Amino acid sequence: MDVRLYTIPGSHPGVAVQAMMKAKGVQYKRTDLFPVIQKLVVRSMGFPKQTVPAMKIDGRKVQGSREIARELDRLRPDPPLFPEDPEKRLAVEEAERFGDEELQHPIRQTIWWALRKDKAPLRSYSEGAKLGIPIGLAVATASPILALTARYNEATDENVRRDLAALPGYLDRIDAWIEAGVLDGEQLNVADYQIAPSLRLAMTLQDLRPAIDARPAGKFARRVIPDYPGDAPPVFPPAWLQALNSLPTT
């Protein structure tokens, strides 16, 4: 199987599909793209959307972490990403949907807001990436890209403040799924791989890391994705972190 993954450094759905391929023993090559530029590159290659992860498998184009998961499972069924039992599969698919549609984007907005405020940590997010230019140069010239990326992701003060206020509720849902055995079971499933990278990306922010680490969700995320590039010092106004840092309500 000839597989090439197109992603951007630190992309959480990009990390998700890489963890799935690792679990399945799928060998692949990776092309790291710059944010913003990636839209043009991916579209010019004929992918229907402008997002990453995007993948060419034996010349065929597959785009989106959920679509890629299904294609990987079809091509390399072992170990399976979905439980066989129909009821368990429904629960896993609902957790996967939540990870993709509800959790992924608020974390994306939060990260871009933080990096726009302070671009110094950008270097740490590019660890291991091959961007085609020296990383120092990429970081030094990143401000316009960061401004554009924050803008098209709508990483505004208002949205990010709301995202941070919603985070404890998301963590409650994840902890409940862990408790119920939907997540963090013996055999990792597609929802584990979808959700854990978003948590790990959030945990690169020193403002959020202790509160997530204190929960089952934090332990789970570190189990599924042991290493995640990036480390950003505190950057958010303390008032935005009030909900996260107060005691859990459950």
Instruction: Enumerate binding residues for ligand GSH (CB under 6 A).
Output: 8, 11-13, 39, 50-53, 64-65, 100, 104, 108
- Smallest CA-to-CA distance from 214 within 243, 236, 247, 190 is with 247
**CB 198, min distance to ligand GSH, A:** 10
Pick 51 or 159: Cβ nearer ligand GSH: 51
- Phi, psi at 30, each rounded to 5°: -125, 135
**Nearer of residues 13 and 106 to ligand GSH, judged by Cβ:** 13
- Supply the minimum distance, in Å, between the C-beta of residue 91 and ligand GSH: 20
Nearest CA to 51 out of 38, 61, 66 is that of 38
CB of 173 to ligand GSH, least distance (A): 18
The nearer residue to ligand GSH, 10 or 83, going by C-beta atoms, is 10
Rounded to whole angstroms, the Cα distance separating 144 from 75 reads: 40
Rounded to a whole number of angstroms, the distance between the first and last alpha carbons of the chain is 47
Nearer to ligand GSH, 153 or 206 (CB): 153
Question: Which residue's CB is nearer to ligand GSH, number 22 or number 97?
Answer: 97
- Report, in Å, the least distance between residue 12 CB and ligand GSH: 6
Min dist CB 76 to ligand GSH, Å, is 19
Measured distance CA(125)–CA(250) in Å, rounded: 34
How big is the chain by its Cα radius of gyration, in Å? 18
- What are the beta bridge partners of residue 194? none
